[in-house]
Amino acid sequence: MGKKSTETKTETVQKENKNLSECPFDFQLSRKALVALKQIITNAQQGHKKLLDESIPISLYLHVHKIPRCTYLRLASQLPHPFIQQDTRDVCLFVRDDDISGRDFESTIRRFKSMIDQFKLPFNIDIMTLKQLNQELVPYEAKRKLCARYDLFLADRRIMTSLMRGQLLGKHFRHHGKMPLGINVFNKDFKQRLTSLCSSIFGRMAGTGPLFSMQFTTVQQSIDHGIENLKSICETIGQELPGSWLNIGHAYLYGNNLQSLPIYYSTHNKNDVKKLNLPSNDPNELTHIGELSTIDKNLNVIVEPNGNIHLTKRTKLNNNFKKKKPTKRLQKIWTKGIQKSSTDKHQSKKQKNINNRDDDTPNFNTDGKPLVDTAFVKRISSTRLAKKSDKPKHKEENFASKPAPRAEKRKRLLAAAKQSSKGDQGDDVPTLVDDSEERKIKSGGRNDETSKIMGDIQICDQQLLKELLLQLKIDVLLPIVVFACNRPRALQTHIEALLKIRKNPDLNPIIVSLDCNDQATLQVAKNFSNKIKTIIQLPDLGPLIVPPENQLLAGYYKIARHYNYSLNRVLNEFNYDAIIVTEDDLEVSPDFLDYFQAVYPILKVDKTIWCISAWNDNGIDQKINRQADLLHRSDFFPGLGWLLTKTVWNEIKDHWPPAFWDDWMRKPEQRRDRVCIRPEVSRTGISPEGKKGVSGGQFYDSYLRKIIKNTDPIDWKSIDLNYLIKDQYDPVFDSRVNACSVITVSDLNMLDTDLKCARLRYSNKKEFIAIADVLQIMNDFKDNVPRTAYRGVVQCRYDKTRIYVTSNQQPWRSYAEISE
């Protein structure tokens, strides 16, 4: 009887499960609803041929009674009649980096790409690594574009945890149902699994609402194919959706935010859904077991995942249910004998610790077994005591190399003692200290050699600063790195101009860095033979990774990779402290190299300066003062002939961008409230060869060719440049700007010829652009910083008047507060 009843129950459960998995839809009614919905969409889109040409999706929406306890649920189904062309489907596969410690990810991409290319799949699959995500997908806009670029995202199962947690991918992936699907890249069936996922359609449920949706056809697909696809996804829903069809309240067809048509209403309610068939690897792990002491001490309580509760005796506990083991703790204290004496309660903590430390007799339970492994505890305690004994409580230190804590007081006492000895007691009275001790007191406890070194490093006052700058007014080693590609005539002209102004080849060696593998340009560089130090040819760094929407801008990706390789090689492999960076289409002034030699000591002293540039973005003849030795501080990175130090390069190299490196240098993350030094009159200009570059000569005829470069010889060694240091520059700059009267744009046409300066104020970007257009200066922003700006101020000349375009921020705070 027991066997028959068991078989009967099993068959009943199987029949119930079979009935639950059968779709309750009336497919004849579904066919009519699908025809009507397509007609509604077609009528609504009449006159919009472009929209009709696109494949408008039609989805099945289900409303469930009980929401599954899941953060993200997706069901996959292979349609008998796919409505997405496989050759037009874009898939992105996230993989784990081969080299976890380094920053290079291109080798990993090449390896996976070559492996997938062997499969000859009909769809396009792009590879991305975790490092690439962390480096390139930091901005919010980049994550949004990545989500919209691909139809499906897959991921190596080893990195699924990293992708799903935090904000690595962003909310757009979850909102649009494009969270990556896990796949085992080392499985022997990797190709079949990859093909299956890429050719499937997916339904999603976020776990926060009762709706579940799954796309199954389009407006252009035939009715018969659409109904067959609907039957296929209904079969998948019945087998895999938690609660199956009992959990479905109603269903309707939905088409592209236009209208929905109901096709099914359930007669069940949520009380009919006993449990949701969520998968579990081990049901015993979800079963909780505990004691129930309120009824009987010999009872255990078993709570199953479905909520059923059983009371069983401990002797009949099923072996499949493993009771959680209690946490093992090391008992550090044991007492003498089996029981504690009553006198222990009255002992102090210190006395108890002494007794416990000296006693090695363990404590036994009623079965005669020791409670603690005394040998193990003794070994651990002795090791800890040995470690503590290695550290002496008092450490003797030699304070001879450190400043005395009361050095200033000792100096005053020494001066008073010497004064009194000279005035009253004469020369027979000995001094308090000898000469060596006196030097030690004056130096704060340092010896002569240490004091000299510290004096060279730490600048205590302005007088010492000036002396240091005078000492540094010597020519230093500043190599010139010339970047070139495929313009042989431009390279020839540029190197000849550098050789003409170079006075010492040892201090300004020329290094030519070549990309593009152009033989004519390479031959031009070789013709200079020993006049240039070396030629760097960019090696094969693998395929260039360019996003599909930036294929027309691939040249900027090549330039960024070229700069990254050559700058790192020159500064770290050739081991130069600083270099001058130029390009083959630049013209240079006669004092180009002397200018960098003169300003370089200021950069070494003032840590708020991170680069020196020879370019003025507003360097048109009518907009500048022809004072050739006038220099400025600027928050905007100008480039186009600039000096870079090894310290700055090692600071930014790990985050070097794949393209548009100059705009990346202007971001606050790299600038860090530091400035560049720029001249009033540019020391570089753009030659006509610049029209043949990647930009295609953009702004050359209208603006760049009008920038003038200095032609007057300047004796930079005779000029004091201390005014460029921040502590001296800012007060003078603020007082000069604030001394000017405030005017409006309409007042420019009526300016007094004797007016030396004036201020034009702006409160947002639109107002600045309007002012800049009237003044005929550059009006664009890079990360909220106008060109040539310092503390929000852009200066230029208008007729004979110096104009300061200033922000309304009083006092100045930051560029982030400049609104649109």
Q: List active site positions.
A: 662
- Cis amide leading into 811 (omega within 30): yes
On whether the CB atoms of residues 123 and 198 are closer than 8 A, the answer is yes
Decide: helix, strand or coil at residue 562. Answer: helix
For the record, the structure tokens of 93 come out as 């596969």
E strand map for 318-372: none
For the record, the structure tokens of 752 come out as 């007094």
CA angle, 143 as apex, 140 and 147 as ends, to 5°?
140
Question: Residue 771's closest CA among 748, 751, 738?
Answer: 748
Query: How far apart (Å, rounded) are the C-alpha atoms in residues 302 and 240?
Result: 28
175: exposed, middle or buried (Cβ count in 10 Å: 0-12, 13-18, 19+): exposed
For the record, the structure tokens of 161 come out as 């945890």
On whether the CB atoms of residues 483 and 584 are closer than 8 A, the answer is yes
Query: How far apart (Å, rounded) are the C-alpha atoms in residues 348 and 465?
Result: 65
Within a 10 A sphere around the Cβ of 790, how many other Cβ atoms? 22
CA angle, 773 as apex, 772 and 777 as ends, to 5°?
55
The number of residues making up the chain comes to 820
- CA-to-CA dists, residue 399 to 403, 404, 405, 599, angstroms: 8, 8, 10, 39
Query: How far apart (Å, rounded) are the C-alpha atoms in residues 585 and 570?
Result: 21
Q: Please state the φ and ψ torsions of residue 5, each to the nearest 5 degrees.
A: -65, -40
Question: Residue 720's closest CA among 626, 602, 584, 591?
Answer: 602
Radius of gyration, CA atoms only, the chain: 40
The residues near 315 (Cβ < 8 Å, ≥ 6 apart) are 298
- What letter represents residue 592's amino acid? F
DSSP-derived pairing of the beta strands 801-807 and 757-762 = parallel
Query: b/e per residue, 28-55, with b = 16+ CB within 10 A?
Result: eebbebbeebbeebeeebeeeeeeeeee
383: exposed, middle or buried (Cβ count in 10 Å: 0-12, 13-18, 19+): exposed
- CA-to-CA dists, residue 694 to 137, 486, 539, angstroms: 25, 11, 21
Q: Report which DSSP code applies to 701.
A: T
For the record, the structure tokens of 456 come out as 């060279």
Question: Residue 658's closest CA among 585, 550, 573?
Answer: 550
For the record, the structure tokens of 626 come out as 């022809």
On whether the CB atoms of residues 31 and 223 are closer than 8 A, the answer is yes
Within a 10 A sphere around the Cβ of 639, how many other Cβ atoms? 20
The end-to-end CA distance of the chain, in Å, is 83
Query: How many H-runs (helices) and E-runs (strands) does the chain carry?
Result: 25, 29
DSSP letters, 630-680, are -EEEESS---SSEEEEHHHHHHHGGG--SS-HHHHHTSHHHHTT-EEEEES
Query: How far apart (Å, rounded) are the C-alpha atoms in residues 385 and 818?
Result: 62
